[in-house]
């Protein structure tokens, strides 16, 4: 479904990530490594707006949670929040710092690890000065299957949901 006058590149990009999410159809290490690297590269290419210091990707969820990199630091399910992958351990935080040398990952982790939309909105406004009216959320999802190490086939809802800061686009329109 088209999103009216929105930036269709964002919608297409989320659809591309969802296609890769669906392609990760088992929980083997190789598959989870593929998904993790795909997600990290996608995040790295979407985190800032046009090479600037303006944070563009505010939030990302990838479901179902089926790989270790998607889980929180305590091993709990985290709704596939990217904060679990880039902020969940000292090793992950070091990778975050290496990927996003422009910004302190501590601030990014606060946003990415926020537990609910209200808390995330607080961080958007107070850490980055981003109003709700300049954010754009896009989600793509469908049912799919994946297999577990025991050979069980799980039918689940696969989805990718991202929140983008469109301050730059709004100011240029």
pLDDT value of residue 11: 92
pLDDT higher at 172 or 151: 151
All residues at 6 or more sequence positions from 76 whose CB lies less than 8 Å from its CB, including other chains:
none
Cβ distance 27 to 42 under 8 Å?
A: no
Q: 55 - beta bridge partners? A: 48
Q: What is the pTM of this model?
A: 0.82
- What distance in Å separates the CA atoms of residue 152 and residue 139, rounded to the nearest whole number? 27
pLDDT value of residue 1: 47
Domain layout of the chain by residue ranges: 8-166
pLDDT tens readout for residues 1-57:
445 556 688 899 999 999 999 999 999 999 999 998 899 889 888 887 766 677 788
């Amino acid at each position: 479904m088209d999103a009216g006058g929105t930036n269709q590149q964002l919608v297409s990009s989320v659809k591309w990530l969802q296609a890769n999410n669906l392609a990760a159809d088992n929980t083997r290490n190789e598959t989870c490594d593929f998904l993790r690297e795909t997600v990290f590269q996608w995040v790295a290419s979407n985190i800032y707006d046009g090479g600037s210091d303006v944070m563009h990707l505010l939030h990302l969820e990838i479901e179902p949670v089926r790989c270790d990199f998607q889980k929180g630091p305590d091993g709990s399910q985290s709704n596939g929040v990217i904060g679990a992958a880039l902020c969940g351990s000292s090793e992950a935080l070091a990778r975050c710092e290496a990927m996003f040398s422009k910004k302190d990952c501590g601030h990014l982790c606060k946003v990415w690890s926020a537990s609910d939309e209200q808390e995330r909105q607080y961080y958007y406004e107070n850490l980055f000065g981003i109003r709700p009216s300049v954010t754009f959320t896009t989600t793509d999802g469908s049912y799919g299957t994946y297999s577990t190490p025991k050979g069980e086939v799980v039918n689940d809802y696969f989805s990718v949901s991202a929140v983008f800061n469109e301050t730059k686009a709004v100011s240029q329109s």
